[in-house]
């Protein structure tokens, strides 16, 4: 290949996403290895710029870095940290389910990344096993901010337009509503996958998958992995909850990982919220 672009030499194709192709590249002067995403659809240029700006503002050990963004011959290019290693999706396909210890560790690291993003009012909107790479040390790195959105930023999709990956979408996303809670639903889907190597909502058609998601109708993970602890099963239940208001936040997931006994605390928040709405109206 060895194609030069603005001081970088493309050396290997890594894959493609919704908006472009990704290549491994080497900076000609510093010899740093990077990943470069090249936009394939010019009409998506505004979303591409949005991805560059959002991800460049983020500094977290479990989010891949953005180095620079430029336009070369009308071709927008995003230069990112190169993460050597497989995605979680590739790891599960190759090795099957992870140990609970590994899954909980990765869950905590990603919850930390989401808590950081959500505190800056950034919603990722496409958290999934294929968008997270594992380094040689087994550390997860969240990639692909192509669908991410800052809460108060202008919309790049029509109101009510569905964005995301079907199998990881939260019920409210089918109505075009995305929030930090939607990312936490996707975290629950990912946790289920890491522990079973199956997606929780595996219908044969998109409409069937959508119907199962909107009812949170999934096969108990214990049926697929009989050795799972009650804590893992309960944590999945609290993330794959239809109501966004009753779903665990990333911060709450972190607190549970520190102290799993919190999972046995009665869920009194839902009734309290209904009571509060009632007396306010």
Kindly provide the b/e burial profile for residues 132-157, where b requires at least 16 CB atoms within 10 angstroms of the residue's own CB.
Answer: bbbeeeeebbbbbbbbbbeeeeeeee
Burial label, 113 (beta-carbon count in 10 A; 0-12, 13-18, 19+): buried
Q: Are strands 33-39 and 66-72 parallel, antiparallel or unpaired?
A: unpaired
Q: Determine whether 126 is an active site residue.
A: yes
- Spatial CB neighbours of 185, under 8 Å, sequence gap ≥ 6: 168, 169, 170, 171, 239, 240, 241, 244, 247
Which residue carries 């919704």 as its tokens? 18
In this structure, what is the dihedral angle of CA atoms 194, 250, 37, 20, given to the nearest 10 degrees?
70
DSSP state of 264: G
Tokens of 9: 């030499």
Rounded to an integer, what distance in angstroms lies between the CA atom of residue 155 and that of residue 150?
9
Rounded to an integer, what distance in angstroms lies between the CA atom of residue 55 and that of residue 67?
10
The per-type count for the chain, helices as H runs and strands as E runs, is 9, 10
Name the catalytic one among 115, 126, 144, 183: 126
Element housing 55 (H / E): helix 45-56
Residues with active-site annotation: 126
């Amino acid at each position: 290949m060895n194609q030069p672009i603005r001081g970088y030499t493309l050396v290997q194709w890594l894959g493609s996403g919704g908006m472009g192709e990704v290549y491994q590249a080497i900076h000609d002067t510093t010899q740093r290895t990077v990943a470069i995403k090249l936009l394939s659809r010019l009409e998506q240029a505004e979303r591409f710029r949005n991805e560059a700006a959002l991800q460049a503002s983020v500094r977290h050990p479990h989010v891949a870095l953005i180095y620079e963004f430029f336009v070369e011959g009308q071709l927008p290019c995003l230069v990112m940290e190169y993460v050597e290693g497989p995605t979680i999706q590739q790891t599960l396909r190759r090795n099957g389910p992870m140990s609970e210890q590994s899954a909980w560790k990765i869950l905590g690291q990603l919850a930390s990344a989401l808590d950081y993003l959500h505190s800056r009012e950034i919603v990722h909107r496409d958290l999934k096993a294929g968008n997270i790479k594992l380094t040689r040390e087994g550390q997860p790195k969240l990639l692909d901010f192509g669908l991410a959105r800052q809460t108060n930023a202008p919309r790049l999709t029509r109101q009510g337009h569905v964005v995301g990956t079907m199998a990881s979408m939260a019920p409210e996303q089918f109505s075009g509503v995305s929030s930090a809670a939607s990312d936490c639903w996707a975290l629950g889907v990912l946790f289920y996958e890491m522990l079973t190597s199956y997606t929780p909502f595996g219908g044969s058609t998109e409409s069937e998958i959508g119907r199962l998601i909107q009812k949170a109708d999934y096969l108990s993970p214990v049926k697929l992995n009989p050795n799972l602890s009650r804590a893992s099963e309960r944590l999945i239940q609290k993330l794959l909850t239809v109501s966004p208001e009753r779903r665990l936040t990333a911060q709450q997931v972190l607190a549970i990982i520190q102290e799993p006994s919190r999972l046995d605390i009665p869920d009194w928040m839902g009734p309290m919220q209904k009571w509060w709405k009632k007396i306010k109206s």
